Structures are given as C-alpha cells and as structure tokens.
A and B are shown apart, each in its own frame.
Chain A
Amino acid sequence: MITNLQTVPNTNSYMNYVKAINWNRLNDDKDLEVWNRLTSNFWLPEKVPLSNDVQSWAILTGEEQRLTIRVFTGLTLLDTIQNFVGSTALMVDASTPHEEAVISNISFMEAVHARSYSSIFSTLCSTRDVDDAYLWSEENEFLQKKSALILERYNGKDPLRKKVASVFLESFLFYSGFYLPMYWSSRGRLTNTADLIRLIIRDEAVHGYYIGYKFQKAYAQLTPLEQIDIKNFAMNLMMDLYDNEIKYTESLYDGVGLTEDVKKFLHYNANKALMNLGFEALFPPEICDVSPAILSSLSPNSDENHDFFSGSGSSYVIGTSEETEDEDWSF
C-alpha cells in the first residue's frame, strides 16, 4: 500500500528511503489536537462492568432481546467495515504523515468497538441467539445494502467521495442502532451496556469531526464546479442511505412501536453528519425533535438548562470575576 511514507526510488536496491514521522514538525495542528483527544479517550470494554446488566437483560422479552442482539450485530458490521476497509481506504489519501497516524488510531478503536459488542454478547446472551443474529445480518437486505453503498465509495478512487462515505457512516448510519441502548437506558435497563455504547458514541463524534474537517480542507481547494459536483454526490448518497435507513429502521423497530421516534433521531444525526462536512442541515427542526428522554440518555448527569434565553434557565447573579491565570484553567 502506498501511503504518506515518501519513498525515493532507488534503482540499485529493492529498498526505498522513507521519512520518519516528526510530531514536532506539524503541517496541520489539527492532527496533533485530534491525536491527543483520541489517545486521552482510549478505553477497553473490560473497564465496563457489563455483568451488572445480567438481571436487567433477563427482564426483557424474547422479542426485545432479539431486537437488541440484531441491532448490536448491525453495529458490529459497520465497525468491521471501518476497521477493515474504511481506514485503509482513507489512509492512502492522507495529506500528512500525522493524518495517517490519526487514522491508524481511528482504525484500532473501530476494532475495539467491534470487539465490545462481542463482550456484551458473551456476558448477556446465549451463543445460539447470537449465531442466529449473525446469520440474520448476512441475509438482511437493508443492512447489506447500506454496507454495499459505503463499500462502493471506499473501493473507488476519489479521496473526497471516500471521506463523505466515511463521515456518513460514522455520524449517521450508526444511529439507528445507537438509539436502542439509549432507549433502554432511559427506562433504567441495560445501563452498563449504555455506558459502554456512550464511549463508542463519543469516539465516533471525533472520527466524524476529523474526517469531515479533512474533507472540508480538500473541498476548499476545488473549483466551484467541482464543489457543486461533490456536494451533489454527497446529497444523493445521503438520500440513498436515508431511504435505506428508514426501511432498516421499520424492519427492526415496528414490532416494538419505536419507529417514529427512531426516525427523528436519524434526521437529527443526518444533519450533524452534513455539518461535519461543512454543509447546512437538511432536515427541518420539526422532524428532528428527538425525545428528551433520549437526549438526556445521551448526556446523563448534564442537568443544566442549555437555553438561558428561553427564560427557563436558572438566574445568575452577575458579580465580580476572579483573577485568572493559565494554570487556573483546567487543561
């Protein structure tokens, strides 16, 4: 694989000169910033006490259990794609050696995510039920179609189209699945599993942000006509993925009556995926009104009001400020 290792052809030897990465000479400060963020966020599923969910799992009905295993199997498939194909496809286009290093971190964390679902399965589920779900994932047309739509772009040649596909996977396609553990957690079910999924959700935010940022840098270099072309591509791919995602959602969630609520979550996250690429939100606010229970499940312990302007925020007394120095601030 040809990557950012700058090789100098040498006809006398099978070996080429390569340049060692120097983190003290950055071409793009964002590479180091994101590297630091990702490495400080590092985690492994063994840190989460999943076995505390055994009793909670037993309370779910057979249908709810089957849905949960399927949803996690679908998420495993997407993480597998990112780990095996996505990161390799993105790495060959890296514009700096540091970007390659960041992508290698992203790739490894995708492997950790995929591995985590198996930890959940081995802790909570019977081998037979899990095997059934893996078989289901291979045969489910919507899951296979979303994989195919992404893989087609990863196997293409265009660096920008690959990045669009990656951001849509990281920031949009996961969310039909992420919804369910957030829902269970809002009802006091599988709360440790939800803690683990939140770690994954946090990682995916950084991945989508970073690849989206690299997309925007390359996009800014295009001619206006090329920009229109890529933007049209992105909107069309979003709509193809969206149409398929709606069907996938219905096939999974109709039985438990959650489809309409999941759709709102999809719209909300599709907008965020587009924003990561620097594009405007597409879905209007009235169909992005994710239920407060799901939002607070995404950010538990965050009890403050986010809108002081609405008048419902707590009142603040404006007093004197304290002296500040760099060291006072929590770096």
Chain B
Amino acid sequence: MSEPLLVYYSSESLNTLRFVDKLGFRSLRIPISPKSPELKVDEEFILICPTFAAHDGRGAVPKQVIKFLNDSQHRDLLKGVIANGNRNFGEYFGYAGTVIAKKCNVPLLYKFELMGTSEDIENVRRGVCSFWRTFNKKNTHDVCYA
C-alpha cells in the first residue's frame, strides 16, 4: 500500500528503463507513442525523467512527460523528481529535473548519467526509501528493507 511508486519515461535508448528495472520498486512507464493509451496515476509517486536539452536548455523535458504533468492530479501526486542525462551537457546536465522541480514545486532528488552506475542504484534505492518515509508514515514496504 505504501510501497514507493516510480513513474518514468524512457525513450528507445532504454537508459531510464534499465535504471528503473535495477531499482526494483513498483513502476509505471509513460508511453512513448501518442497513440498508446495515456497513463493515468492515482497515488503518490516519484518521477524519473531523462533530459534532451538543446544548448540553451530548451526542450529538456520530453513532450510525453509534459503531457502527463499537464494533468493537475498528476502534479498533486508528484512528490519528487529524479533526472538523468549526461554531464557533457555542462550546466544542462539533467536539466529536465530542474525544470520539473521548479514547475511543480517538488524537490529534485537526484541526478545520474545515462543508465546509472551501481553506486547510483544504491544511492537512489536508499534515498527513495527514506524520502518515502518522510511523507508516508505508514508501513513502508519490505522492498525498502531488502
């Protein structure tokens, strides 16, 4: 019931999907194709979003994620955001996370590169569990004690 829920977007490069798979939390994927049925979420979640920023940061957030967050219920249920990208983009590394955090007034929890390293997995697994407890005092699921 109060096991952490991740909602994520992953393009065909599958970087984000691989990262989410390794975390082992419950997860829902925002579909790539506009023809797919829209994802509707009705409980609290953390968003994981890749960055596709141009040199000036424009276009950082994938359109599919914007569409998902344009639903005010989703914004209300969004508790925090984690972003991936590539440090080679300099100040725009993981910029999608910065944009979403500002826009939706939630904390930017973590940034990682590409599909993440084992260290990133550990940090995020531990971090998500303790962050989840801060706003959800009920039993946090076993996955956080594994």
Residues of chain A whose beta carbon lies under 8 Å from any beta carbon of chain B? 28-30, 33, 37, 40-41, 198, 201-202, 204-205, 209, 212-213, 216-217, 271-272, 275-276, 278, 281, 285, 288, 295, 298-302, 304, 306-310, 313, 316-326, 328-331
Q: Is B105's CB within 8 Å of the partner chain A?
A: yes
Distance between Cα atoms of A271 and B117 in the complex (Å): 8
Contact across chains for B12 and A329 when beta carbons are under 8 A apart: no
Known: A202-B55, A209-B13, A304-B98. A328 touches B88 (CB 8 A): no
Q: Is B70's CB within 8 Å of the partner chain A?
A: yes
Q: Is B59's CB within 8 Å of the partner chain A?
A: yes
Interface string of B80-116 (1 = CB under 8 A from A): 1000001111110110001101011111111101110
Contact across chains for B123 and A328 when beta carbons are under 8 A apart: no
Contact across chains for B107 and A308 when beta carbons are under 8 A apart: yes
Task: Name the residue of chain A whose CB is nearest to the CB of B111.
Answer: A306
Question: How many contacts A-B (CB < 8 Å)?
Answer: 141
Stretch at the interface among B1-9, B35-43, B61-69: B61-69
Which of A37, A278, A298, A326 meets B67, CB within 8 Å?
Answer: A326
For residues 96 through 144 of chain B, which have their beta carbon under 8 Å from a beta carbon of chain A?
98-99, 101, 103-111, 113-115, 117-119, 123-124, 126-128, 130-131
Can you name 28 A-B pairs with beta carbons within 8 Å? Answer: A33-B11, A40-B54, A198-B90, A201-B88, A202-B55, A202-B88, A216-B13, A272-B114, A275-B114, A278-B18, A278-B115, A281-B118, A298-B87, A298-B88, A307-B110, A307-B127, A308-B127, A309-B124, A310-B127, A321-B76, A321-B106, A324-B69, A324-B104, A329-B61, A330-B57, A330-B59, A330-B60, A331-B59
Cβ–Cβ < 8 Å partners of A40 in chain B: 54-55
Known: A40-B55, A272-B113. A324 touches B75 (CB 8 A): yes
Cβ–Cβ < 8 Å partners of A275 in chain B: 15, 113-115
| Count of B interface residues, CB-CB < 8 Å | 58
Contact across chains for B58 and A331 when beta carbons are under 8 A apart: yes
Task: Name the residue of chain A whose CB is nearest to the CB of B122.
Answer: A285
Other contacts beyond A299-B87, A323-B72: 11, CB < 8 A: A33-B52, A275-B113, A285-B117, A299-B93, A302-B91, A307-B111, A309-B109, A309-B124, A309-B130, A321-B106, A324-B66
Cβ–Cβ < 8 Å partners of A317 in chain B: 105
Task: Name the residue of chain A whose CB is nearest to the CB of B15.
Answer: A275
CB distance from B100 to the nearest CB of A (A): 9
Distance between Cα atoms of A298 and B124 in the complex (Å): 23
Distance between Cα atoms of A46 and B108 in the complex (Å): 37
Cβ–Cβ < 8 Å partners of A325 in chain B: 70
Contact across chains for A205 and B75 when beta carbons are under 8 A apart: no
Interface string of B19-60 (1 = CB under 8 A from A): 000000000000000000000000000000000101101111
- Of all A-B residue pairs in the complex, the 5 with the closest CB atoms, nearest first, are A309-B127, A205-B88, A316-B107, A275-B114, A306-B111
Contact across chains for A330 and B88 when beta carbons are under 8 A apart: no
Contact across chains for B106 and A30 when beta carbons are under 8 A apart: no
Cβ–Cβ < 8 Å partners of A302 in chain B: 90-91, 93
Which of A306, A319, A324, A326 meets B94, CB within 8 Å?
Answer: A306
Distance between Cα atoms of A278 and B12 in the complex (Å): 11
Contact across chains for A304 and B109 when beta carbons are under 8 A apart: no
Contact across chains for A328 and B91 when beta carbons are under 8 A apart: no
Which of B63, B75, B98 meets A321, CB within 8 Å?
Answer: B75
CB distance from A23 to the nearest CB of B (A): 18
Contact across chains for A37 and B54 when beta carbons are under 8 A apart: yes
Which of A29, A198, A316 meets B106, CB within 8 Å?
Answer: A316
Contact across chains for A278 and B14 when beta carbons are under 8 A apart: yes
Task: Name the residue of chain A whose CB is nearest to the CB of B100.
Answer: A329
Known: A271-B117, A329-B61. A318 touches B107 (CB 8 A): yes
CB distance from A36 to the nearest CB of B (A): 8
Cβ–Cβ < 8 Å partners of B75 in chain A: 321, 324
CB distance from B12 to the nearest CB of A (A): 6
Contact across chains for B12 and A320 when beta carbons are under 8 A apart: no
Cβ–Cβ < 8 Å partners of B13 in chain A: 30, 209, 212-213, 216
Which of B58, B94, B103, B126 meets A309, CB within 8 Å?
Answer: B126
Contact across chains for A308 and B106 when beta carbons are under 8 A apart: no
